Amino acid sequence: MKRRLLLIIFILMPLTILVAQEQSMLTIKGHIIDVDREPLAYVTVRAANFAYALSDEKGNYELRFRKPTSGKLVLYFSLVGKQALKREIEIGPNTHVIKVEEVLLQDHDLYMDEVEVTAQRDEENVSNSAYKIDRTAVEQARANNLSDLLQMAPGQTVKNPMLHGAQTITFRSSNISSQDALNNAFGIGIFINGSQLTKNADMQGVNPVQRGAFDSYAGSQLNGTSYAPSDNPGGGFDLRQIPVGNVEKVELVQGVASAEYGDITEGAIIVETIAGKSPLNFAVRYAGGNTNVFANKGFQLNERNSLSVGLDYVYSNANPIDRMKSYNQVNGNALWTTYIGAGKKIRNNLSMNFNTNLDDFKSDPDIGYALRNRYQRRAFSVSDKISLNYSTPIFDGLEASINYSYGESTSETIQLINRGVTGVTDVTEEGVHEGTFTPGTYTASMRVHGKPISAGARLNFSKEFNTGKWKHALSYGYNLSYSANRGDGRVFDPFRPISGGSSPTSDRPYSFRDVQPELVQQGFYVQNGIKGKLLDKDLNLSLGVRGDLQVGYFTVSPRINARYKLAERWSLTGAYGIQTKAPGLVHLYPGPSYEDVILLNSFNGKVNESLYLAYTHVETSNAQGLEPMLSKRHEIGVNYKSKGLSLAFTYFGNQNAGGISIDKVPLVVEVSDYEITGYPEGSTPEYAETGETKKYAFKSNRITNTNYTDSRGFELMGAIPKVDALNASFNFWLSYYNTISYSLSDTYKNNNNDGFFVESDYVYVLYPPTWRQSGRLQGSLSTNYHLSSLGLLISLRVESFIYNYTRSKRESDRAKAYFDQNLDYVFIPESERNDSTYDLLAREGDDALYSENPPVAYFNAHLNLSKNISKNIRFTFFANNFLNIRPEGNYRLSSGEESSYGPLNQAPYFGMELNFKF
């Protein structure tokens, strides 16, 4: 790993000092002021990909870079505390110096003329299905973390903050199963300031092949209330760990992402944090037992250096009455920005982040019998990104970044076990062994300790050129990532096993440190943004391809996004792409699985006079040949824009193949038969082989690439022109998602009800896979009433849940094959499957189960009121489900029966925030 990183640095150094022939250069000059016509210093001005400048004390700036091929150029002006602005300028064929007219930046508060507080389509993004959340919307979102912030995106639902469990997100899917949801969330890439956050190094869970699922013992239960576990093995990144107090902008890509982004299948979340000079921003938020305090400040150290620092604290109490279940989190961040060189052509961002949290139960003798858990995580990350604005024959600018993160996570559960005396063993080798017995009642504990380590490097180049009348913006680059885990692993006493899961007494401790799990990935990409005219209409194309080396497999991922202007107000969009995601360490290194077959069990109340004899079967090839997950995505859409009215309709289809799944494989072992031959007084019973053998059958779990999902649907998003009479603006979206999911593996059934001992002629019976289909239609209407003269903003969001159904269907209840006592596979021809001979193998139950929830549409409404008390102080009051709309939920089965399972909406949730800026 170190050698590869050194190689990247070695390649980069000569490129940064490369001397090229002087090319045609463009100089842009201008002046920036505030609303009081005072000059604004240290405003960041950006043009092209890597051309940056800072305004001086007099508000003047100057940019010099290679003249772009386009006749138009967009300048971006940003300063924390001010409303960001972009300005389009024309470039003539013989223009080399441009004087831009004076730029005025408004204060970033509710006295602005326009305030946007919802996610908007990002038309500058290469993806057609990209949305952005700017700083104004971030400040109005009253979000504790990124999970809360993303609820304003199309297709997402407003939920009351729940900090007592990992928070993840899924894109463009309906009511998918738990494993489908894990794969969807795991396939979403998160990029912060150019560096990718990954879950690849996380192994914080129990043995998946022992339990038959990616699960955690750290689920929380207290006084009959269950909470989601704080670790999320095999799933997405925990969004609670990403605060938003220092977030400048968030982009969501739900369609085909740029070829620059690899190791993703479902989309990307791209976050940019505050950099440069900024006022002190301090806020206190309280709602429903959750308290959030954050502060950030940007210092301009000198004309070339600035430092932005932030601190975020969250405390959550699940029940304010007893205060037994709590969650604490502290995040700290620092971003140092410096400009290097006479022309400030080199810009460097050095970022450091620290995170720690504790999800805990306090001891209470009144609930000593209950499951109690504790989850703690500490993490530190550092990244550096350097941008160079320098023209050569092969690039106009380059960007290089390197990142490293280290974490330590501990999940611990404690249980009081009272299930009687049970035979146990701790052997880890195949064969017959003597074990011992547990007490009838004992305290059991299990600790999963991980030390995830991630490192990566990225190198990106850009170049603009023309071919005839077509303009090209070429980008290309390389990335390398490394993941490892050096924790103690799954630590527990096998003689005091914890309860729950499949064969809990058969599990064994597993040390990550001894195994040394590692994952190395690398990839490269080339992408060309093409602009021109086709049939005298504007055409924008983004053609890209990635090549990735993941877990020994090389994949090629072509991607295309296109936008064609049909008329002045109408445009047509389309996209197609392939995206891949490598399995993580939790998939690749699940550890051995054990199956203890009881041969003799004689207990007389005294351990030293009792016998537990077992045969232990060990499986080590539980994830052999695991491949990257693969997603094929396509979409087509139409857009309309005219005088404030905008509409965008997109139809999409996503097919995910090779998804992670846990399949059951039938196994039969033949073991010598034993019998007790004597009971010596005061010692263990004597035993001997009978000379015969017995067969024992069981199902062994394997991690495979057999999960498949097919999601299709549409998204309609729009904005209505501001109604001046009401001084209000309106935004809406409507989405429909329909998902089919199934495993390519057959369903196995153990046909012997007497346990492991094989007596039946049909040891295992195979049936065709069962598939699941679900659909969801919902919409959202947001209206903003804004009085800029008073600094007042009232926002109302109404959600409509129109249709929601789930269907589970079996292709057939008739067996398609079986395994006999010799574990020989016997296929049943389709013409013979209905024969009465195989009636005893038929599955019972309906051939299809259908549930619909709810039979009719229902609504929810959320209110947000913000008022600038002064230029520097803002008060916000917010309420989820403030009308207390809680209809009872019914579901209807295919038989026509109906049943109720409680309120559909969450309970009302109220809170307030006080924000200070100085």
> pLDDT value at position 8?
42
Provide CB contacts within 8 A for 189, sequence distance 6+: 196, 198, 257, 261, 263, 264, 267, 268, 269
420, 615, 674, 854 from 609: Cα distances, Å: 17, 20, 18, 61
321, 370, 416, 463, 670 from 324: Cα distances, Å: 9, 13, 18, 58, 51
Going by the DSSP 8-state scheme, the letter that residue 609 receives in this structure is G
Q: Which two tokens stand for residue 224?
A: 């009959």
The pairing of strands 305-317 and 290-300 is antiparallel
45-59: per-residue pLDDT in tens? 888 666 788 888 899
19, 741, 750, 855 from 175: Cα distances, Å: 57, 10, 29, 16
Going by the DSSP 8-state scheme, the letter that residue 680 receives in this structure is -
Residue 14: pLDDT band by 50, 70, 90 thresholds?
very low
787-798: per-residue pLDDT in tens? 888 889 999 999
C-alpha 20/C-alpha 26 separation (Å) is: 16
E strand intervals along 438-488? 441-450, 452-467, 470-485
Residue 656: pLDDT band by 50, 70, 90 thresholds?
very high
E strand intervals along 679-727? 686-723
Percentage of residues in the chain with pLDDT exceeding 90?
Answer: 48
Q: What is the mean pLDDT of the chain?
A: 86
Going by C-alpha positions, the residue among 269, 607, 217, 258 that lies closest to residue 374 is 217
688-699: per-residue pLDDT in tens? 999 999 888 888
Provide CB contacts within 8 A for 218, sequence distance 6+: 229, 230, 231, 373, 374, 375, 411, 412, 413, 448
C-alpha 598/C-alpha 595 separation (Å) is: 10
315-374: per-residue pLDDT in tens? 988 766 666 678 899 999 999 999 998 778 899 999 999 999 877 666 555 554 456 678
Contact 717/121 with Cβ under 8 angstroms? yes
> pLDDT value at position 64?
82
Please determine, for residue 437, whether its predicted confidence score (pLDDT) is greater than 90: yes
H or E element at residue 321:
none
> pLDDT value at position 19?
36
272, 514, 567, 637 from 645: Cα distances, Å: 29, 61, 16, 17
User: What Rg, from alpha-carbon coordinates, does the chain have?
Assistant: 31
Residue 117: pLDDT band by 50, 70, 90 thresholds?
confident
Contact 581/626 with Cβ under 8 angstroms? no
Question: Within 13 Å and on the Cβ side, how many CA atoms surround 432?
Answer: 13
Going by C-alpha positions, the residue among 674, 677, 683 that lies closest to residue 613 is 674
Contact 819/762 with Cβ under 8 angstroms? yes
For 526, the 3-state DSSP assignment is: strand
Please determine, for residue 848, whether its predicted confidence score (pLDDT) is greater than 80: no
367-415: per-residue pLDDT in tens? 544 566 788 899 999 999 999 988 888 898 899 999 999 999 998 888 8
In the chain, the amino acid numbered 739 is T
Contact 776/737 with Cβ under 8 angstroms? yes
Going by C-alpha positions, the residue among 765, 760, 747, 757 that lies closest to residue 669 is 757
Which residue reads 């139960």 in tokens?
361
